[in-house]
Structure 1
Amino acid sequence: MPFTLHFGEADLLRCRFALSPLWETQEAVRTLARPERHGYHLPWLRRLREARVAEELDFTPLQILMPHRGHNPDCLYPPPIGPAATFDEEIARVRATDPESARDDLAYALADAGTSDRPEARAMLADPARAVRELADLIERAWNTLIAPDWPRLRALLEADIAYHSRRLADVGLEGLLRELHPRLEWDGTSTLTLAKTDDHRRDLDGAGLVLMPSVFSWPDLVSGFDPPWQPTLVYPARGIAGLWAAPSSRTPETLARLLGRVRAEVLCALDDPTGTTTLAHRLGLAPSSVSAHLSVLRDAGLLRSRRYGHQVLYERTPLGIALATEGARPDDT
C-alpha cells in the first residue's frame, strides 16, 4: 500500500520550498555507508579518502539510527525553519530537544534499523540527554568535515533547483509541479498526493501545508515523513547533480573576452544556474565586491536578470546572455 498525503484547502496555500544544510549533513553521513550512492559523488569521496576522514571520525552512532527503510529520528533533523536557515540555527534546535521526546524518537529509529541491541543504542536510551548532546556534537563535526568545505557549491545547486521549480509552479500550478518532482509521485487531481512503492501510511496535513525540499545527497531517493509536531516534508532529488563535482572550465572564449573583458566574460560564463554573488565569487576565486560590480554591469546591459531569494539575490542569464556565452564557445573559436 502507498504513502498518501491528504490536502485541505488551507494546505494548498501553505506549501513552501526550503533547503537544509543539516539535512545534507546527515544524508552525507548516510551516503558514506551506502555503496549504491557512491557513484554520484566519486570526486567528493576521493577527497575524503585522501584526507583520511574515516580514520579520524567514527559516524557509527549516527549510522545505527539510519534504517534503509523506516523511521529516522526527526529530533536530529527537523524540517528547516525557512529557505535561508543556517547550519548553526538548525543545530541549535537539535541541542534544544527535550530528552524524553528524543528518547522515544531514537527508540523508534533504532527499532526500524534493527540496532536496538547494540551497546551504543542501549547507552543512548539510558541517557537521552547525553545522547542528544553527543549526537549533536558528532553532527557538527560531520558538517565541518563533509559539507562545509563544499557548501557554497551545494547551496548554489539547491537554490538553482528551487528557482527552477518556483518558475514551474507559476507555469503549471501545484498539480503539475508535484507530478514533475519525481516519477513515484501521483496527484489525484483534487486532494491526495501518493508516493508509490513505499510503506502504507496516511497523513492528513490538517492545515500544516507541505515543505518541498531538494537534496543533493538523498539523490536519487524520494523521502517523505516527519511525524507531528513537525511540518510534513517531501525531500526530492535536486536537479543538476551530474555536473555538481565537475571542475569549472578554465577556458573563457576569446571572442567573448575581447568583447566584455576577460573577468566579466568569466562571470557571465560561470552562470550556468541561478547563483548568488558570494557563491560565484567562491567559484571564480574573486573578491565578492569585484563580482558584484561585474554582475551589475552585465545586468544593466541586459545580459543578466536578478531575483531575490531568501537572504540573497540570485543572478541568471537572459536569452541574450545565453546566446553570447554559447556562441562564444563554438569549437571554431580560436
Structure 2
Amino acid sequence: MTMSAGDLARVRFAFSPLWEVAASVRVLKEPGSNPLHRSWLAEVDQRLRRSTTDLSLLFDLVPTPTKYLPGFLAPTPSTQRPTLAAELEDLRAVPPDSVRAMIENAGRPASDPVRRLHADPGRELHRLARAIEHYWKLAVEPWWPSMLDLLEQDARYRGALLVEGGTTRLFNELSPMVRWRDDGLQVTHRYLSGTQVLDGRGLVLVPSTFLWPTVFSKFDPLWPAALRYPSRGVAALWTPERRTAPDALAAVIGKSRALLLTELSSPRSTTELSRRTRMSAGNASQHLTALRDAGLVSVRRVGRYVLYGRTALAEALLAQCD
C-alpha cells in the first residue's frame, strides 16, 4: 500500500457499527475458529434461534473463509463515530451498478437471495438494511456501549503511540500483519496480493472487536481506503472479571449499589450493567437512580445510549475501601 505525504496527513480513526455486524456474522459462521468469542457466541446463538426474521441475505454475503467481502456491506465510515442508522443510509445509497459489480467480483456461486439482490439492488438493499437492524438488536446492540468504549480506548492508545514514536510505531503495533516500510504499508493477506496506491484521500483506521487475529483492507473507489484491525482487550469484553464489592462500602450503601459502583470502572449502560451483575434491568436502573441522586454516579448520553460513570466522590469512596 503506497502512501503519499498527503495520505499520511489524512490518516484518522473511526468506529463502524455496520462493520461489526459483518465481522460478527463471520465469527458466527466459523465458531470453531473463533474461541476468543465463545461466551458471546453461546448467548447470540440462542437469541438467533428464537428469531423468525430471515437473515439469509446478510449471512450469504459474508463468505467463509473470508476472501472478499462486498464493499457495500460495510462502507468506510465518513465520520469518527457514525450511528448504525447513518451507515445503513450509506448502504442504501450505493449505486445499483456498483452493487452488481461487487457481487460479481466475489467470484463465487451466488445464493438465491444474492441473485435477487443482483437483479434488483434498489429493492433488496432496503430489505438487507431491515435484516441488519434486526440482527443488530439481537447480536450487537446489547454489548455496543461496552464495545464502543473499548474501541475508543484502543484509538486513544494508538494516538499515544503516534505521539511517542511517530508513524512507524503507530502502524507497526496495529498487528503482526502490518508493517511500515519506506514507501508505505505492507499488509499481509491470506488471499490477496499486489500493490495499492492511495489517491490522496488518506487512510481510515478502524479497530474491531470481531477481527482477531487478522486484518482487512478496503480499497473500493467509492470510499476512502480503510484498514480494519483487531482492538486490544477483546477477551475481557466477553468474559469480564467477576468483581466483588468492598464489604465496608456494601455495609453503608448496600451490596447491589456497591457492586454497581465497582463495575463502573468505565462508562456502561443499564443493559450492560444488568448483564454483568445479573440484576434485572429495572432493579439496576432503580439503584443507579439512587446513586445518581447521592452524587456517586454521573450520566451522559452518547447517541441513543445513556451511560453511567463514577463521580470523583465515588472514586474516593472506593479508594478508601481498598
2:60 matched to 1:64?
yes
Aligned residue for 1:145? 138
2:32 matched to 1:36?
yes
In 2, Cα distance between the equivalents of 1:96 and 1:89?
11
How much has 1:248 moved relative to structure 2? Answer: 5.2
Aligned residue for 2:84? 87
2:100 matched to 1:98?
no
Query: TM-score scaled to structure 1, two decimals?
Result: 0.76
In 1, Cα distance between the equivalents of 2:18 and 2:93?
15
1:124-273 equivalence runs, <5 A: 124-188=117-181, 190-198=182-190, 199-247=192-240, 249-254=242-247, 269-270=262-263, 272=265
How much has 1:143 moved relative to structure 2? Answer: 1.0
Q: Is the 8 A contact 2:72 2:99 kept in 1?
A: yes
Question: In structure 2, do the counterparts of structure 1 residues 228 and 247 end up closer, same or farther at CA, with 3 Å as the change threshold?
Answer: same
In 2, Cα distance between the equivalents of 1:191 and 1:262?
58
Matched AA of 1:178: F
In 2, Cα distance between the equivalents of 1:161 and 1:317?
23
Q: Is the 8 A contact 1:99 1:132 kept in 2?
A: no
How much has 1:259 moved relative to structure 2? Answer: 10
Q: Secondary structure at the match of 1:244?
A: helix
Q: Secondary structure at the match of 1:51?
A: helix
In 1, Cα distance between the equivalents of 2:146 and 2:24?
15
In 2, Cα distance between the equivalents of 1:147 and 1:253?
32
Q: Secondary structure at the match of 1:214?
A: strand
Q: Is the 8 A contact 2:269 2:306 kept in 1?
A: no
In 2, Cα distance between the equivalents of 1:265 and 1:167?
33
How much has 1:268 moved relative to structure 2? Answer: 6.7
How much has 1:214 moved relative to structure 2? Answer: 0.8
Aligned residue for 1:26? 22
In 2, Cα distance between the equivalents of 1:31 and 1:236?
15
Question: In structure 2, do the counterparts of structure 1 residues 152 and 108 end up closer, same or farther at CA, with 3 Å as the change threshold?
Answer: same
Q: Secondary structure at the match of 2:165?
A: helix
Q: Secondary structure at the match of 1:41?
A: helix
How much has 1:267 moved relative to structure 2? Answer: 7.0
Deviations 1:273-299 (A, max 9, x none): xx44x5489537454795594367xxx
Q: Is the 8 A contact 1:29 1:142 kept in 2?
A: no
Aligned counterpart in structure 2 of residue 12 of structure 1, from 4, 8, 13? 8
Gaps of 5+ in 2: 275-283
Greater mean alpha carbon deviation, residues 11-20 or residues 259-268: 259-268
Question: In structure 2, do the counterparts of structure 1 residues 225 and 265 end up closer, same or farther at CA, with 3 Å as the change threshold?
Answer: same
Q: Is the 8 A contact 1:267 1:291 kept in 2?
A: no
Number of aligned residue pairs: give it.
300
How much has 1:96 moved relative to structure 2? Answer: 2.0
Q: Percent identity?
A: 32
Q: Is the 8 A contact 1:14 1:208 kept in 2?
A: yes
How much has 1:219 moved relative to structure 2? Answer: 2.1
How much has 1:213 moved relative to structure 2? Answer: 0.8
Gaps of 5+ in 1: 297-307, 329-334
Aligned residue for 1:283? 273
In 1, Cα distance between the equivalents of 2:13 and 2:290?
29
Matched AA of 2:194: H
In 2, Cα distance between the equivalents of 1:96 and 1:288?
42
Q: Is the 8 A contact 2:214 2:230 kept in 1?
A: yes
Query: TM-score scaled to structure 2, two decimals?
Result: 0.79
How much has 1:105 moved relative to structure 2? Answer: 1.7
Q: Is the 8 A contact 1:95 1:132 kept in 2?
A: yes
